[in-house]
Structures are given as structure tokens and as C-alpha cells.
């Protein structure tokens, strides 16, 4: 209403200047009311225009369909504006005498036609601005979730039980295999350094993610000795695909905890990656007892742990409904965790 009032005052000034050369001139009150009557009909029509804009948007490849609606709609709203302005001319304080409806329609064609499209443009600009601000909000929320996930990784790595086992393994190697103990300390240091070096990074190439995972698995294999077997089945053509930073570590940690720790003897953890059309599938499986620990028992709640729930939340923030995280029993025994994310390849850094 503030905008329309400003336009009405501008039209008032225009009418006073246009009529100043005539003998009788134009009374100030009539000029003011007539100027406001020219623009105030849009107080009624603008919400209807915005309703049309919400249902027929200029997005993506369907903009031409919306244009087929908006072009005739502009003439419909022009007709409505003409009827309202013509009806207001019957009020004596607004116009000296009723206006001719055809003259109103033709003389103000440019005004109502441009007004309609300006309202459409304003609505689209406001909607895009809101999408931009919401995108910034989503980005800040994603940064917060990523920081939380990285803190959870650090927390898991520095968990007293894990740290005790790592230091115990190092202490047993100091006298028997000093070089091995030194290597394990270096791996632990590198693992923590890699975690801190990627704070704030949302996505990394799969190759970098596997390098981080390898450092983690080297420490776990030292802990479990020959009990832990790891198979990494990742084709070379998937190594440059971008994946969420440190997304595999909590899944592998779950596989070790619920697979190797939950059984006697050897345990297997397998990591696979496959490109499926425009999607990337990541799988982590173990050969433990699976979701049902005993025959006939009810399955354990799927995806309720901190690692899985946090991973699912990160996938939703990064990719929305295009991503998925599934937890199921593997046919040959054990548990299978599958991640499905959009396939986006990393852009090579320019050679300097």
C-alpha cells in the first residue's frame, strides 16, 4: 500500500502539471483522489496476481507454459482494473463526471499491462531472494552438521577404549617391533591431522575419502591382528566422484563393532563403490550376526545409532530426497549398509 500510495502521489503531481494550462485547472483534492484511484485497484488485484504466480512459476524448462498463462492473465487483470477504475469514476470527489470505459481501457493500457508484469517480476524476485536466503541457512546448517560429524569422528577416535587399545598395541610392539610401533604412532598422528585439515570441507573425492579410511583401518588391523579382513572393491573410474567428507568411517566403525567384535574368530569388512547411471552407490558390509542376533528374534532398530542417524541427516542436507541410506541383512550373513548419492565428479585443480 505504501508503494501504491507513492505512485498515486506521483500521478497526482502529473495530473496537476497536465491540467495547469487549462482555464479551470484541476482541484487539488480531485487530483489526489484520482491519482490514488488509479493505483489502489491493485490492492485488490495484487494478491490474485501473486496467487497466479505461485501456481505458474518461471522455473526450469516449464517457463513457457507459465508464459502461456500469464500473457492472457495480464489482459484479464487489465480488464478487471479497468472495471474498478471506471466504477470509481462515478464517485463525484474522484472524477468530475463518469469516465468512458473504453477510453479508460485504451488510454491506460500501458499502465495496467506494465503493472501486471512488474508485479510478476517483483514476486519472482522476492521468491528467488527467499530461496537464496534459505540456501544460505541450509548451508550454515550443513556446516554445523559437518562440524558435529567431525567432532563425533574425533570423539570416536579418542574414545578411552579405542585409545587404550591403540596405546596397548603400540606398547606391545615397542620392544618386539619398534619399527611397527613407530609406524602405528605415525598412522594415529596422520589420522588426526587429516581430520583437522578438512574441517569445514563438505565433499571430497572418493580417493581422498578412501585414503582417510585406510589410515583408520591400518590402526584397527593392528588392534585385531589377523582377525580383521578388509576388502576394498572400488573401480578406478569412481575415484574422482565427490562424496561427503568422512562418510565411510562411521559406517566401517559400525561394521567392525557389530561384526568383528560381535563374534569369535575372523571378521570381514567389505567396502564397495559402483556408479549406477547418474548415482553413486557406496556399500559397507560385515559378516557378523546381522540385524537379527538369533533366529526368530525381532530385528534391531535400523539406523538409530549416532553414526547412522548423523550420516542420514548429512545426506539429507547435502542432496535432499535424491539420497538414501539403507540398512539390511546381507543374504550371505551379516549387515549391509548402502548409500545412494548423486554422481558428481570433482573438478581437477588447474596446473600452475
Divide the 352 residues of the chain into consecutive groups of 10 and give the mean pLDDT of each group. Answer: 81 76 70 82 89 82 80 89 86 79 82 86 86 80 74 56 70 80 82 76 90 88 82 94 90 84 82 94 90 52 62 83 90 90 80 52
According to DSSP, the β-strands at 267-276 and 228-233 are: parallel
Q: Which residues contact 181 (CB under 8 A, 6 or more apart)?
A: 170, 171, 173, 174
Phi, psi of 135 (to 5 degrees): -65, -40
> Looking at residue 151, what is its pLDDT?
58
Q: Are 203 and 245 in contact (CB under 8 A)?
A: yes
Check if the beta carbon of residue 93 is closer than 8 Å to that of residue 33. yes
Q: Does this model's pTM top 0.85?
A: no
Quick one: pLDDT at residue 294?
42
pLDDT for res 48: 92
Domains along the sequence of the chain with CATH: 2-134 (no CATH), 198-292+299-342 (3.30.565.10)
Amino acid at each position: 500500500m505504501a508503494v501504491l500510495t507513492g505512485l498515486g502521489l506521483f500521478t497526482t503531481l502529473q495530473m496537476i502539471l497536465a491540467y495547469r494550462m487549462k482555464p479551470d485547472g484541476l482541484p487539488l483534492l480531485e487530483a489526489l483522489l484520482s491519482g490514488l484511484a488509479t493505483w489502489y485497484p491493485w490492492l485488490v488485484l495484487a494478491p490474485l496476481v501473486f496467487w497466479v504466480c505461485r501456481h505458474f512459476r518461471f522455473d526450469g524448462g516449464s517457463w513457457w507454459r507459465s508464459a502461456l498463462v500469464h500473457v492472457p492473465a495480464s489482459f484479464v487483470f487489465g480488464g478487471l482494473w479497468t472495471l474498478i477504475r471506471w466504477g470509481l469514476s462515478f464517485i463525484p470527489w474522484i472524477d468530475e463526471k463518469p469516465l468512458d470505459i473504453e477510453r479508460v481501457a485504451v488510454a491506460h493500457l500501458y499502465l495496467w499491462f506494465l503493472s501486471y508484469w512488474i508485479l510478476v517480476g517483483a514476486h519472482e524476485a522476492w521468491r528467488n531472494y527467499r530461496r537464496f536466503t534459505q540456501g544460505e541457512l541450509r548451508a550454515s546448517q550443513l556446516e554445523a552438521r559437518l562440524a558435529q560429524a567431525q567432532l563425533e569422528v574425533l570423539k570416536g577416535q579418542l574414545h578411552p577404549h579405542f585409545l587404550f587399545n591403540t596405546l596397548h598395541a603400540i606398547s606391545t610392539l615397542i620392544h618386539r617391533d619398534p619399527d611397527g610401533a613407530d609406524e602405528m604412532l605415525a598412522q594415529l598422528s596422520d589420522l588426526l591431522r587429516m581430520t583437522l585439515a578438512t574441517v569445514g570441507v563438505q565433499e571430497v573425492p572418493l580417493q581422498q575419502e578412501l585414503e582417510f579410511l585406510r589410515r583408520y583401518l591400518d590402526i584397527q588391523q593392528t588392534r585385531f591382528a589377523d582377525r580383521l579382513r578388509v576388502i576394498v572393491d572400488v573401480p578406478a573410474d569412481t575415484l574422482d566422484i565427490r562424496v561427503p567428507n568422512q562418510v565411510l568411517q562411521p559406517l566401517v566403525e559400525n561394521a567392525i563393532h557389530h561384526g568383528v567384535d560381535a563374534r569369535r574368530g575372523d571378521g570381514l569388512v567389505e567396502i564397495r563403490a559402483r556408479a549406477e547411471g547418474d548415482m553413486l552407490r557406496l556399500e559397507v558390509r560385515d559378516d557378523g550376526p546381522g540385524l537379527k542376533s538369533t533366529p526368530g528374534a525381532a530385528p534391531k532398530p535400523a539406523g538409530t545409532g549416532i553414526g547412522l542417524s548423523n550420516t542420514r541427516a548429512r545426506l539429507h542436507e547435502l542432496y535432499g530426497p535424491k539420497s538414501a541410506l539403507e540398512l539390511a541383512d546381507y543374504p550371505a550373513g551379516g549387515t549391509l549398509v548402502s548409500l545412494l548419492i548423486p554422481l558428481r565428479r570433482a573438478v581437477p585443480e588447474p596446473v600452475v
